[in-house]
Structure 1
């Protein structure tokens, strides 16, 4: 072991800190200063004059650990010095001058770590004999112990720059004999934003120190303070041969777990099969919930909620607590099992803020289904106090739409008002209040709402102008609901009651109804029986596609599509895409695209379509479907230029159907391009859509007549 050169190397590393401290921790590394040598260097080939009194004393006491530590220290200070081959020479004095008994006493106190007593004894002896001097090695040893104590105390107190200053002043500490000191120096570098210097210290320990336990502990320390890639680099120093072989498997498993955990929070980052297998082994080899939770979140964020549900259930069984419950409830929601999700999330809602947020999110989604679900009165009764207690405007809005769609207009208006009291600028709630008030024939109330919101809501202005009278299409709720812990407030005076019959709102026709009609009538035609060989198959019980062959996964995907469970079908098709080849892979990519289109996930459908080559016919079919959905989405959002662009691109693939031509016409109308709109409506009129086309032409006539007047 080349302790001398190694000590000088790491000392030089630490001594560079002084310049860095003056620069405010900029991270720039000046040229390292040489390690100080407390004695003048001996002439070439001359033996150094070394005080071996400490070494002699520890040998006489049979203290092997102290002997080895002293040898390491002396080698670091005197590179040309070598210890006697026979340490018994030291214990007997080795023919050297007899040692003063006071020296033995001082070393004994030092050995007992009574540093204050050593200093007191030295002072006492010098007071009686001013010419007496203690051994230089003892003084150096005392300074080293005192420096180590100062460094340790500073480290424990989080005074990281003091740690580095002490290390700079006492480079003799920086050897494998003081591994704990080296760990603290590395931590100080990390805590002062110098990760590369921390890495250098850990590298020195891995290349110079031999104790297997300390080497493993060094990597464990590095895991805490270094990025994953730098810890991975340290693994190259693993000793695989010799008498002391390293076993760093636990470090590799932890690194794999961290990489999978990072990927579990980012659906765009995919973990390697090797890392996933390592975490699977960790999960099987322990009863702790941690590794299972990592796998659960990875599967959830990578589109496999069915597998995630299984893993979160295992984590719950292992007492994974609120985080496991959060994942379980979110997986149920992703699988569209909203009734189960609401009941489960309700039981965990008070355990953590995240659990309350998930419950409110699920309850809102449950109430917002179209058509409205048949909910037990107890379900609504337990949702209401949570929504009001949390003052959650999106939940109040959802209760409003649930009441509205079940024809409970007074209750609906109360809930929309409640939502607005918590979030005064919530336009969807104001729109719901306006619709409810209008349906109740409360003209004064409706006029008050219209006056307040006319300048902020085009929809409410249209209602007031009579252009959308009676139209009760429910707007989309906000995608993100944030739970808030605030004071309890009373619920609105009415609570939605269970309804046996749930009538849908009747849409009355009017001059402008045809403008909205295409949005209701246009559908993306997708075939869901591709690959079916024997009619409708039974896939009521969800199976995990991971263990299926590519062909079996493909069959499961089509079955789930027939059962109108597209998100589960995506997982099955994805398995067939990953593991299949040829025709199977092509069919799976096609099915995955259709599944995403079924859920209006246009971008995901486009990506899925590119995962495997498709026939020309299918490329056209998928391209037209994707562009149709993009046009519809843009039209719904009032992005009429994007609507026209998507329709024009679609028209290059397939002829434009009448309902999409109507959308084109109304887009021109909304943009004020009345001549273009008139041409489109007249073209539609010739195809037999005379009533819808006439509505558009009449609207153009009304607008242009008003302009001329």
Structure 2
């Protein structure tokens, strides 16, 4: 079946759980998504900045409305603010600016009117406030008259050098230059724009440095002194402030900062990042309360992606085999519904790997198909191919892998491995010339040592040792392995090339001892099996139940009753657990029964645990027996 057709096929999979079953079908992304509830309109005007100056008291347990601060003290137990000193609101919007004054200006005379505010309003050309201030001062001082130079133009100074330093982020240098210009030009003050931006930049720099160093109290102090920074335009400052409150134990005010962003700011990315950052520092009840402030749109909840983060982690641990504890069926069902609405390819693939880790191949394949409908990521296709392969549909998996081999090197590798298993399987049907050419082209392009070996062994089985030697040579050239070297030796043995076989033994014998034993099969196998069973000179080393069962298995093996020998070895494993000697004897028993794949797998597994002459000889003997290469002279 073509890959495209398979990827576009609808997927309907039941989620099987150990404790319960819930219908969680892999969505069909070729169909339009069903509409969800209409988007919730944001408020007509943004809410006011909360009062973050009040300390928080965290009750032991309380029930709060959705989206409310779960860490705030309930009104019934909240401490009243003192009447004489009401709590300040240090993070409210910037206060009305005061009149600019020179650092070296003389102290104001308390017996004379304070004209600083009047001159400030005049410098701003705020005529309404100028008139109001004049009337106020005349009411206080009957003989007072507005100064004649009220609207006089002050000294002129070129601010561009200061702005140039500001643009280079040399804020300290800019501040020093302002101070020098003030001293050089009596009465000059920088423009309100320059003063404000320079002050904010200095404060932001202090906050950034404090955040990098984890100086949480410094962040709070700097933000308190520069409330004009606490805006959606500089949301990262709000994030730093929220974390600073949380790190210093003030969870209530931390929550208020994050909630303020969600209630005030419109940028979707910033809102999502706010919930993600808050989730890292607030307890779960704080995260859940913030999630409740999310908006609902056609694709579901605004923060659904965050809502399922914990579940994603749990599914990932199941997929990797880190844990066998499965998430609740209701959670998985809700997540599956979200995946269907959001068309999230990574999440669909996660479901696939989740089932793959539990060896539920059919369910895994359904979810990988669903992921493939909405993404070009070859990982989803790799998962589908592996699921089909492990589920027993090897022809479909192989065909799909061949058609999609250009999508990724991993898919090519999977195809080569599947065909290698098919070509070297016990009793495998020889491939047609066209099949062999097709496979050979892929193997050459990928320079696959494993694929070259598979073709070589297939050709040996077909009685074509000369062609087989060519492929074994390629295998060793691309990647030298014991199997490739053994293949060269077997081909030379079949061709009765004594000189070639001796050259292989001389070149590789020390590195691959199993090559040296090609001609000594009867004696070598007998010695190896008796060593495996722990028998020396007809006597068993040690005693006990283990020895009795192994002696019985050895006798059955020696008498040719291999089926009974396997039964005894299985009984030994059930009773005493895995034993290296018993495993090796099991490998030789499978070899005698011509179960080459089983024998090879056992010897390779034991060789991986600890390589010895016996394990290496077992690997070589399996190939030699399978392809009748024992007698070469």
Matched, 1:325 2:273: no
Matched, 1:359 2:415: yes
Equivalent residue number for residue 312 of structure 1:
368
CA distance in 1, matches of 2:471, 2:479: 12
User: Residue deviations 1:596-619, cap 9 Å, x none?
Assistant: xxxxxx9xxxxxxxxxxxxxxxxx
How far is the alpha carbon of 1:329 from its aligned partner? Answer: 1.2
How far is the alpha carbon of 1:285 from its aligned partner? Answer: 1.0
Q: Which residues in structure 2 correspond to 1:76-115 (within 5 Å)?
A: 93=132
CA distance in 2, matches of 1:140, 1:365: 76
CA distance in 1, matches of 2:410, 2:320: 18
CA distance in 2, matches of 1:288, 1:282: 8
TM-score of the superposed pair, with normalisation by structure 2? 0.51
Q: Unmatched 5+ residue regions in structure 2?
A: 1-48, 58-83, 99-127, 138-145, 154-162, 168-174, 527-554, 589-611, 615-633
The 1:311–1:4 alpha-carbon spacing in structure 2 relative to 1, beyond 3 Å, is: closer
Which residue of the other structure, out of 262, 267, 270, is the alignment partner of 2:316? 262
Which is helix-richer, 1 or 2? Answer: 1
**Higher RCO, 1 vs 2 (CA within 8 Å, ≥6 residues apart):** 2
8 Å CA contact retained: 2:365, 2:387: yes
Equivalent residue number for residue 443 of structure 1:
498
CA distance in 2, matches of 1:205, 1:363: 60
CA distance in 1, matches of 2:388, 2:249: 45
Which residue of the other structure, out of 275, 290, 297, is the alignment partner of 1:238? 290
Equivalent residue number for residue 178 of structure 1:
231
How far is the alpha carbon of 1:280 from its aligned partner? Answer: 0.8
CA distance in 2, matches of 1:222, 1:623: 60
CA distance in 1, matches of 2:281, 2:94: 43
CA distance in 1, matches of 2:242, 2:469: 62
CA distance in 1, matches of 2:433, 2:574: 40
How far is the alpha carbon of 1:364 from its aligned partner? Answer: 2.7
Which residue of the other structure, out of 329, 340, 348, is the alignment partner of 2:396? 340
The 1:338–1:231 alpha-carbon spacing in structure 2 relative to 1, beyond 3 Å, is: farther
What is the SS of the residue equivalent to 1:456?
A: coil
8 Å CA contact retained: 2:275, 2:291: no
Which residue of the other structure, out of 501, 520, 523, is the alignment partner of 1:465? 520
How far is the alpha carbon of 1:372 from its aligned partner? Answer: 1.6
CA distance in 1, matches of 2:215, 2:87: 35
Equivalent residue number for residue 220 of structure 1:
272
CA distance in 2, matches of 1:162, 1:143: 24
How far is the alpha carbon of 1:395 from its aligned partner? Answer: 1.6
How far is the alpha carbon of 1:281 from its aligned partner? Answer: 0.8
Matched, 1:428 2:483: yes
| Deviation larger for 393-402 or 91-100 | 91-100
The 1:314–1:515 alpha-carbon spacing in structure 2 relative to 1, beyond 3 Å, is: farther
CA distance in 2, matches of 1:420, 1:197: 63
CA distance in 1, matches of 2:400, 2:414: 11
8 Å CA contact retained: 2:235, 2:270: no
What is the SS of the residue equivalent to 2:186?
A: coil
Equivalent residue number for residue 289 of structure 1:
345
Q: Which residues in structure 2 correspond to 1:385-424 (within 5 Å)?
A: 385-424=441-480
What is the SS of the residue equivalent to 1:211?
A: helix
CA distance in 2, matches of 1:385, 1:2: 70
CA distance in 2, matches of 1:53, 1:209: 14
How far is the alpha carbon of 1:345 from its aligned partner? Answer: 0.9
Equivalent residue number for residue 53 of structure 2:
5
CA distance in 2, matches of 1:132, 1:141: 16
8 Å CA contact retained: 1:350, 1:356: yes
Matched, 1:370 2:318: no
The 1:451–1:313 alpha-carbon spacing in structure 2 relative to 1, beyond 3 Å, is: same
| C-alpha RMSD over aligned residues | 6.1
CA distance in 2, matches of 1:7, 1:218: 27
How far is the alpha carbon of 1:308 from its aligned partner? Answer: 1.2
8 Å CA contact retained: 1:399, 1:415: yes
Equivalent residue number for residue 549 of structure 2:
none
Matched, 1:146 2:146: no
Q: Unmatched 5+ residue regions in structure 1?
A: 10-43, 59-88, 104-112, 472-511, 526-601, 603-621, 641-669, 673-709
What is the SS of the residue equivalent to 2:420?
A: helix
Paired residues, what number?
424
What is the SS of the residue equivalent to 1:350?
A: helix
8 Å CA contact retained: 1:257, 1:278: no
TM-score of the superposed pair, with normalisation by structure 1? 0.46
How far is the alpha carbon of 1:327 from its aligned partner? Answer: 1.1
Which residue of the other structure, out of 350, 354, 357, is the alignment partner of 2:406? 350
Equivalent residue number for residue 534 of structure 1:
none
CA distance in 1, matches of 2:433, 2:248: 64
How far is the alpha carbon of 1:414 from its aligned partner? Answer: 2.4
Equivalent residue number for residue 507 of structure 2:
452
How far is the alpha carbon of 1:398 from its aligned partner? Answer: 1.8
8 Å CA contact retained: 1:419, 1:429: yes
What is the SS of the residue equivalent to 1:282?
A: helix
CA distance in 2, matches of 1:161, 1:624: 62
